[in-house]
Amino acid sequence: MIKSLKHLWQMSALRQAFALTLVFLGVLLATGLLADVSIRANLNQTIDNELLDKFDQIKTDLARGATYQSIAGSYQSESEHFSVDEFISFKSDTGKIYGYPIPDLYGETGFINLAPYYFHEDDEDEESGEHAESETSWRAYVGRVSGGTLVVGASLRTRNQLLNTLPYAFLFSGGVMMLITLGGGLWFGWRAQRRLSKITHALDQIAAGDLTTRIAPRDCKDDLDILSVKLDDTTQRLATTLQQVRDLSVNIAHDLKTPLTRLRAQLEQTQEQNLKGVSDAEGVAAALKKTDELLEVFDALLRISRIQSGERKKQFKPLKLDTLANEVAEIYQAVIEETGRSFSLKIKAAATIHADRVLLIQALANLIENALRHTPQDAKVTLFVSGNTMGLRDNGPGIPEEFYPRVLEPMFRMEKSRSTPGAGLGLALVKAIADLHQAELILSAPTSGSGLSIEFVFANEQAGAN
């Protein structure tokens, strides 16, 4: 039981619901206190204003010739000296009192609170035979008028009844509101806690190695849904990265095993020649060549790793794509045409981007090298720029569309390519350079229907009008 309660208390959403309810209760009490003070002040002010108005009216009537006796009579019955809710009393300068005598007030001025008095109402209770009685306090105003001192008073019974009822009404309405708020807060907290628990469970599953776990919210309505979608995306990328690492490990083992085996055979042959006392300079040269090829593979892997680290972003500068394309064409056009292939350069409304010029030249060089390696000698190679898009296309055999994503992975080689030189790192390096520039790398078949087109589409915020 204690453990369950402790677990409940550890749920932040439920704790927040309780905290908000307590805050609401505190605000409610403070508001009620302020309302009570304000209502009391307003009621007292209203009563005082009414007493002053009545005092001024009587004073005016006296000035117009009305008698004290007639005015006092209008405020009292024949049997009582004043009505239940109001009274007046007048003491002339000669000492004669009209209305209910209140000796203690005639020497005062201003507003005065009177202790409760008992007043007998006129309507006798026929069943009990007793006079109805009521106990209340009074508020009076005392002032000088022509010929004496006038006291006007009003009962505070209605005011007191209202003020006595107000706390009960406030507590009842506040209690109902607090229960509704607490219930609503707990319900929303419980819902949020369920979603947090689902996210926590998913994280536990991912930490345990299950990268197929997904939260998959139905909608994306709030921050928890956004967090769930982000977590799913991160898990998907992590799964993809791990799969690529596994594939890379397999490809490295597969592609390096053969040259290492050949290198070992070459070294064994050279060793046998040495044991026979025969110098094998050609064997040593061949072994060194194979070693250099292996070092080039590792150098390429290290270059990809450095590019993926993002360090080269510090070298980004404004770069006009038409200038870059012309520079690449100037370097490689002769090389391409020497192989018997034709080369063309097409530029249309080139944009200016922020980029690393050396890396983009390296990427285009890799694409040109791939085109020379995998296209027939009479192929056409086109370097093109259009707006913020730059790429290379050829009319060679191309590659099946289902292999587009795979050929961008490090050391992935299609079976028909394993007989050609290379380690399958050229397009992986191009992909790393595109990612560094936040450019989309699109592989497609040219509109002619054969060949391959690879293009960089740079992000709009990188591009600027030329």
pLDDT tier at 455 (50, 70, 90 boundaries)? Answer: very high
How does pLDDT run across 306-347, given as a tens digit for each residue? 887 777 888 888 999 999 999 999 999 999 999 999 999 999
Higher pLDDT, 103 or 122: 103
At residue 1, the pLDDT reads 61
Give the DSSP H or E segment for 289: helix 281-308
Of 258, 292, 284, the C-alpha closest to 419 is 258
Give the whole-angstrom CA distance, residue 236 versus residue 230: 10
Within 13 Å of residue 170, how many CA atoms lie on the same side as its CB?
A: 17
- In the chain, DSSP finds a helix count (H) and a strand count (E) of 10, 12
How does pLDDT run across 347-406, given as a tens digit for each residue? 998 999 999 999 999 899 999 998 998 899 889 999 999 999 999 999 888 888 888 888
Residue type, 250: V
3-state SS string over 365-377?
HHHHHHHHHHCCC
State both tokens at 51.
Answer: 């007493």
In the chain, what is the straight-line distance between the N-terminal and C-terminal CA atoms, in Å?
A: 72
At residue 416, the pLDDT reads 59
Within 13 Å of residue 151, how many CA atoms lie on the same side as its CB?
A: 26
Q: Which whole number is the average pLDDT over 65-92?
A: 69
Ranges of beta strands (E only) in 104-255 are: 110-120, 133-145, 148-155
Mean pLDDT of the chain: 81
Neighbouring C-beta atoms of residue 44, cutoff 10 Å? 15
Ranges of beta strands (E only) in 307-379 are: 317-320, 342-348, 352-355
Least confident of 100-114, 196-210, 242-256, 420-434: 242-256
Say if CB 47 and CB 55 are below 8 A apart: no
Say if CB 374 and CB 339 are below 8 A apart: no
Percent of the chain residues past pLDDT 70, beyond the cut: 86
Give the DSSP H or E segment for 98: strand 97-99
Of 400, 395, 383, 386, the C-alpha closest to 446 is 395
How does pLDDT run across 261-308, given as a tens digit for each residue? 888 888 888 888 888 877 778 888 888 887 887 787 788 778 777 887
pLDDT above 50 for 166 = yes
Of 320, 403, 332, the C-alpha closest to 366 is 332
3-state SS string over 143-183?
EEECCEEEEEEEECHHHHHHHHHHHHHHHHHHHHHHHHHHH
CA 59 to chain centre: 70
Give the whole-angstrom CA distance, residue 184 versus residue 296: 66
Give the whole-angstrom CA distance, residue 179 versus residue 175: 6
Say if CB 19 and CB 190 are below 8 A apart: no
Of 85, 114, 119, the C-alpha closest to 102 is 114
Of 418, 409, 314, the C-alpha closest to 374 is 418
* Residues pairing with 99 in the sheet: 89
Give the whole-angstrom CA distance, residue 418 versus residue 449: 25
Q: Which whole number is the average pLDDT over 65-79?
A: 68
What is the Cα Rg of the chain in Å?
A: 49
At residue 128, the pLDDT reads 45
Neighbouring C-beta atoms of residue 148, cutoff 10 Å? 18
Of 85, 83, 49, the C-alpha closest to 159 is 85
